[in-house]
Chains A and B, each alone.
Chain A
């Protein structure tokens, strides 16, 4: 099965073209092609997955040469690199994409660009799969940029509204800033290791063939790409705005295709990162900062999708930080579990919004009766996100906390930092999850009952929810502690990590439960009646409301200065300084000019110029007869010139 793994990205990419060209003429407007293609990919992906876990020690790599360049036989290949990481990613991406596409048949039913939407979904999935399968950095970059383009198209899908198209642009440009780093990272690695092949680069790095400083720079540059795509601080601003796209797209972006690409990049290039402690520390610190900041932000959002968006940033930061502290398996395991429950939450939020026609939690409340399936699955997803035993999130989150603790005990101050940040984030996560569920499904209805009649969503939307809820419960059992940890056998870097610490797990669970309790008390039971905006913590609330002023910083610090003050400064300089200089120069020139004109120009120069002009005219009159207009004479001149030239060299040399 692994030998045909290349079919996995090919199916959706083929589907993209088929849908674009024939989609509108199909009876179902193209969605059957997309669903069929991704289902075929899923079948292959499962085959590859089961074969890979049966031979988990082997890496299966095949490639063909795409083109050669330069001297010395340098080349770029098209190839596949199948290991546990890739196999797991195949299953995640294909499954989530399939569910999203099924869900979208209902959610996007009457959309004006229904066919185009499906084409973009296929392109999105295909690009991501190409990124996953790639055995070299160039192929990976192609997938990477394909993901960027498709996300731009999908986020701006309803581009009739200015805000939506702006959100698409913001996502595209912000991630592009990181991509510049990624590309330079590729160049540095190519220069240092002489190949684009990832396995080759890793082996060169492992044998010490690359200087430490170069390696650190390469890793940091690569990580810039990951920061952009995975929306880590300071490039996290695009992800909340990306909520402007259709909700199933958000689910796809957040669970499987786009944002995970950054984490995947770091995991795939882990050989490079691992060899540079400085780069790993940077990764860990960025992750730790991001997870706490984003979790804080999720606490104050009113838009249910923005809560989930910040939650994604926070959870991605978990994965990034885990990689930073060396908990490779835990990080990939968190990708795996997070994909299920986050896709579930987004699709659930879409289902709710489908019912009340709004994403603001101020328009929801008390929906648990009208939408029982959505409610149940949503609660499962939320508890999994909060990391409550024994749901999926619990296992992966505690693996990460264990990993950080392990690193901290080994004497790493960064490890302590990550460890504390992870605990704090676990608490905050539980709190905002409780708030979100309470505001959405409990309490009094806040929607307008005259116009909105909430109802359970159709089957095409609830079946994916139920399946995802199943995965959110059971997918974590692959990573049970100790010897039962199957996942660690499949995906690992170096030795298997067997870190299990009962006391720590108990502690983090207590933290999560207390977070849930706090959120529940405040937002459901209203036992603590506080108005955050007026409390002593108001400044903090304001800080969160303004998203830590990141957007303000970017707009006031980068965008406006270019448009405003810098332009004003340029204008002032122009008016005051340049004008003065020019005026002075003008006056002086006039005075000088009078003198020059009267005495020098009229007398001396004029005579000279007139003389020259007359001389030129006379010469021209004499020479113009050479310009016969006869091409053959011109050509004769050309050849005579050549003959004379070469003849002179011949005689002299």
Chain B
């Protein structure tokens, strides 16, 4: 059952990801990104990371994609056929293929034969306890990073007086 779901979702992700980096239409690109993120969210659900999945839906799909769409509109990017690829495209293809080959070889060698066992899903309760006891310091630091990013984004994007 899980394998079937995984297969379908994996196919969706692969398709959407490839279309994202090859599409000629910027807004379509954003929608393909949405599809990839939704697929990842389903994977999280499948791997019993319920809370991460909902955060993915809320933060990524809800906020990040909208932010990207805003970015597209604010930069008045020409929607339609345009040279969306740079001259580095052949180089990019070679490099990414090489990386994929290498990493997948390593992964295959290392994890061959190991299988995932689906145990009882963890609740938000346990995850929350982990974050606010053991990982409370990283959590606080991340919040400071967010604040700094917020301030930085405002300072950068603000119009000069």
A and B touch in the complex (CB under 8 A): yes
A643 to B95, CA, bound (A): 8
Q: Mark B101-116, 1 if CB is under 8 A from A, else 0.
A: 0110110000000000
Residues of B within 8 A of A636 (CB): 88, 91-92, 95
How far, in angstroms, from A643 to B101 measured CA to CA in the complex? 9
Q: Is B81 part of the binding interface, using a Cβ–Cβ cutoff of 8 Å?
A: no
Q: How far is the CA of A286 from the CA of B92 in the complex (A)?
A: 79
> Which residue on chain B has the smallest CB distance to residue A640?
B95
Q: Which of B91, B99, B133 contacts A642 (CB 8 A)?
A: B99
Name the B residues within 8 Å of A640 (CB-CB).
95, 98
Residues on the A chain within 8 Å of B99, using CB: 639, 642-643
CB neighbors of B among A25-79 (8 A)? 68
Determine which of B88, B91, B92, B105 lies in contact with A650 in the assembled complex, contact meaning CB atoms within 8 Å: B105
Cα separation A639 to B88 with both chains bound (whole Å):
13
Contact across chains for A646 and B102 when beta carbons are under 8 A apart? yes
Which of A68, A632, A642, A650 meets B86, CB within 8 Å? A632
**How many chain-A residues does the 8 Å CB contact rule pick out?**
12
What does the 1/0 interface line of A179-193 toward B look like (CB < 8 Å)? 000000000000000
Q: Which residue of chain A has its CB nearest to the CB of B103?
A: A646
Question: For the complex, what is the distance from the CA of A633 to the CA of B91, rounded to whole Å?
Answer: 9
Name the A residues within 8 Å of B86 (CB-CB).
630, 632
Whether A643 pairs with B98 at a CB distance below 8 angstroms is: yes
A 638-653 contacts with B by CB, 8 A: 639-640, 642-643, 646-647, 650
- Interface size class on chain B is 10 to 19
Smallest CB separation, B107 vs chain A (Å) = 11
* Cα distance A643–B96 in the bound complex, in angstroms: 9
Closest residue of B by beta carbon distance from A647: B102
Is the pair A633, B98 in contact by a Cβ cutoff of 8 Å?
no
Interface of B (DSSP majority class) = helix
Bound-state Cα–Cα, A633 to B92, Å:
9
CA distance A643 to B103 in the complex (A): 9
- What separation, in Å, do the CA atoms of A68 and B96 have in the docked complex? 45
B119 to chain A, nearest CB (A): 25
Instruction: Give the complex CA separation of A647 and B86 in angstroms.
Output: 27
In the complex, are the beta carbons of B88 and A630 less than 8 A apart? Answer: yes
Closest to A68 in B: B133
Q: Among the listed A630, A632, A650, which residue makes an inter-chain contact with B102, where contact means beta carbons less than 8 Å apart? A: A650
Q: How far is the CA of A287 from the CA of B95 in the complex (A)?
A: 79
A636 to B97, CA, bound (A): 12
A605 vs B147: C-alpha distance when bound (angstroms) = 56
Q: How far is the CA of A646 from the CA of B102 in the complex (A)?
A: 7
Chain A nearest Cβ from B33, distance in angstroms: 19
* Residues of chain B lying within 8 A (CB to CB) of residue A630: 86, 88
What's the least CB distance linking A77 to chain B, in Å?
15
A634 CB to nearest B CB, Å: 10
CB pair A632–B98 under 8 Å, yes or no, is no
A-B contact pairs, 21 of them (CB 8 A): A68-B133, A630-B86, A632-B86, A632-B88, A632-B92, A633-B88, A633-B91, A636-B88, A636-B95, A639-B95, A639-B96, A639-B99, A640-B98, A642-B99, A643-B95, A643-B98, A643-B99, A646-B102, A646-B103, A650-B102, A650-B105
Chain B positions near chain A (C-beta within 8 angstroms) = 86, 88, 91-92, 95-96, 98-99, 102-103, 105-106, 133
Q: Which residues of A are at the interface with B, using a C-beta cutoff of 8 A? A: 68, 630, 632-633, 636, 639-640, 642-643, 646-647, 650
Closest 5 CB pairs of A and B: A643-B98, A632-B88, A639-B95, A646-B102, A636-B91
| Inter-chain pairs besides A632-B86, A640-B98, A643-B95, 14 sampled, C-beta below 8 Å | A68-B133, A630-B86, A632-B92, A633-B88, A633-B91, A636-B88, A636-B92, A639-B95, A639-B96, A642-B99, A646-B103, A646-B106, A647-B102, A650-B105
